[in-house]
Amino acid sequence: MANSTLGLENQLYNYLLSISLREPDILQQLREETAKHPMGMMQIAPEQGQFMQMLVQLMGARKTLEVGVFTGYSSLCVALALPLNGQIVACDVSEEYTAIARRYWEAAGVANKIALHLRPAINTLDKLIAEGQAGTFDFAFIDADKENYEVYFERSLQLVRNGGLIVIDNVLWSGRVADPQVQDQSTLAIRTFNDKLRNDPRVTLSVVPIADGLTLALKRRWATMMEPEQN
């Protein structure tokens, strides 16, 4: 995985950040603290967080879902971009990592927007569906165990409204997905997921090569004339 945009030389990457990144101090502190963590590479890139804030604001999102919180950088980005009455349902299994997230949500004054569910995300997503919350979310971000991406995507597709957006992280997986020699479980899972989504007529699709690769899947409101050709 990569926590800066793949394929850019350092000089150009630093230039990109210098002309665009508007990272508040609280996000910078969280990013720097997470970078020292042994699993710090799991953190999203700052330009990606800012891009997701753009998406959330473009959509006028109020209710969002996050599958995979880690230390909370992405949820904090989204929470800061949401209106005052915005809400995030956040799913994770790690008390340890999310303790860092909670500390920063509090410090940033957005903790009241975020409901953290500490149990396997599938259980939380199924519970939301059982409670009648299908079709009520504007936006979902999936960034958790890659073997379950397909399951998370299917549940999220039920939970977002028509015209809602699902954003999936790490779809370029540091380039390993494109290397047929690489056959580990996570790589295979992402490759299979990417292949299926390519031909999924339920969504409008774009794969954006920012950070470690970000798929945007928009739940279609109506049949369009942009059907994927089967390949």
Point out which residues bind Ca ion (CB under 5 A).
143, 169-170
Q: How far apart are CB 48 and Ca ion at their closest, in Å?
A: 9
Pairing of strands 114-118, 137-142: unpaired
Helix (H) or strand (E) segment spanning residue 89? strand 87-92
Q: Of 92 and 143, which has the nearer Cβ to Ca ion?
A: 143
According to DSSP, residue 31 is labeled: H
Is-contact 139 167, C-beta < 8 A?
A: yes
Q: Of 92 and 169, which has the nearer Cβ to Ca ion?
A: 169
Q: Which amino acid belongs to residue 214?
A: L
Q: How far apart are CB 218 and Ca ion at their closest, in Å?
A: 20
Find the DSSP H helices in 109-227: 121-130, 149-159, 185-198
Q: Of 71 and 170, which has the nearer Cβ to Ca ion?
A: 170
Q: How far apart are CB 79 and Ca ion at their closest, in Å?
A: 18
Q: Of 164 and 213, which has the nearer Cβ to Ca ion?
A: 213
Long-range contacts of range 131-136, CB-CB < 8 Å, 24 or more positions apart?
133/159, 134/158, 134/159, 135/159, 135/160, 135/161, 135/162, 136/63, 136/161
Q: How far apart are CB 42 and Ca ion at their closest, in Å?
A: 6
Q: Of 167 and 218, which has the nearer Cβ to Ca ion?
A: 167
CA atoms of 26 and 166, how far apart (whole Å): 26
Q: How far apart are CB 139 and Ca ion at their closest, in Å?
A: 16
